[in-house]
Structure 1
Amino acid sequence: MGVCADLQPLPPVPEPDRSISRELDRRWVLRAVRAGEIPRSRVCDADRAVTASAEVLGTPTGRDCPVCGASAASGALRTTQWIHGSAIGEKSGTARSLSEIRHILASLSPGDDITVHVVEVCLHCRWNCLLREDRYENQTEDQLGD
């Protein structure tokens, strides 16, 4: 048995009530960068908070960076989650791990909701792009996968 056999899978990610993919926006931006219509400096501009969250809380995508080409093996291209919502007070606008998000979802009161922004970040060139917006409303334990 190899080292990978000992790894525990991440808990299931709850199914959002509504999800908005930003994949077409991502493709458009990448095409424009490759065509020279948008300078690389405009898309490789992740600030310290975004890169730190990707380094600490992010999960490697297993893909090469679409801008600088950093290899998948380096783990430089990661996704990280940022949460937003008036119901969560000071936690709104912060990066969180999947387990923290699950806990926050479980503690929502009736009528509360949060939005999770899934962001792709390259630790090498600072490329960052919103991939998806997931909206969650007051979830029951069944919806959380427990």
Structure 2
Amino acid sequence: MWSQRGVVDYGLAKRATVQSLRSGRMARRDVCDAHPYLLRAARLLGEPTQRACPICERTNVTHVTYVYGDQLGRSAGRVKATSDLVQMAHEYGEFRVYVVEVCQGCSWNHLTVSYVLGNGEPPGDSGADGQTAEK
């Protein structure tokens, strides 16, 4: 995405968690603990992937994308489709995106990536005449 910055990939943490489970240092109940609201969001609003769950290996994981930011107002904390993010990146100065992978079969969930989007303009950026600056 054109304005993507501040990317944090949680792949190493995911691999460590899966390895801890497979080595017996963690119990399955410790990693397959998705909140019912997250499971519902995955079922109703999530975006299916072609990647199998690293825990049960039977069900493909679903991505649930949340957005947060002061400029978002009532939209902050909501689930958004990836296709909506392009328009939002043009409309808002800055907001953070969090992508969570969820297995609807075994309740595995893990934050996969987070990043910042936005056009970089401060909220209410206006010119000397009080009009909003043109892009």
User: Normalising to structure 2: TM-score of the pair?
Assistant: 0.80
Query: Identity over aligned residues, as a percent?
Result: 27
Find out whether 1:40 has 2:21 as its counterpart.
no
The correspondence of residues 51-66 of structure 1 with structure 2, limited to 5 A, is: 51-66=39-54
**SS of alignment partner, residue 31 of structure 1:** helix
Distance in 2 between residues matched to 1:66 and 1:90, nearest whole Å: 34
Aligned equivalent of 1:67? 55
**SS of alignment partner, residue 67 of structure 1:** coil
Aligned-residue RMSD, C-alpha: 1.8
Aligned equivalent of 2:98? 117
In structure 2, the gaps of 5 or more residues are 122-135
Find out whether 1:128 has 2:116 as its counterpart.
no
| Cα pair 2:3 2:119 within 8 Å, conserved | no
**SS of alignment partner, residue 55 of structure 2:** coil
Aligned equivalent of 1:3? none
In structure 1, the gaps of 5 or more residues are 1-12, 141-146
Aligned equivalent of 1:5? none
Which is higher, the Rg of structure 1 or of structure 2?
Answer: 2
Aligned equivalent of 2:132? none
Aligned equivalent of 1:8? none
In terms of mean alpha carbon deviation, does 94-103 or 29-38 score higher?
94-103
Q: How many residues align?
A: 121
Distance in 2 between residues matched to 1:15 and 1:31, nearest whole Å: 34
**SS of alignment partner, residue 62 of structure 1:** strand
Aligned equivalent of 2:70? 86
Aligned equivalent of 2:126? none
Q: Match of 2:47, as an amino acid?
A: T
Q: Match of 1:102, as an amino acid?
A: V
CA deviation after TM superposition for structure 1 residue 119, in Å:
0.8
Change (3 A) 1:117 1:43: same
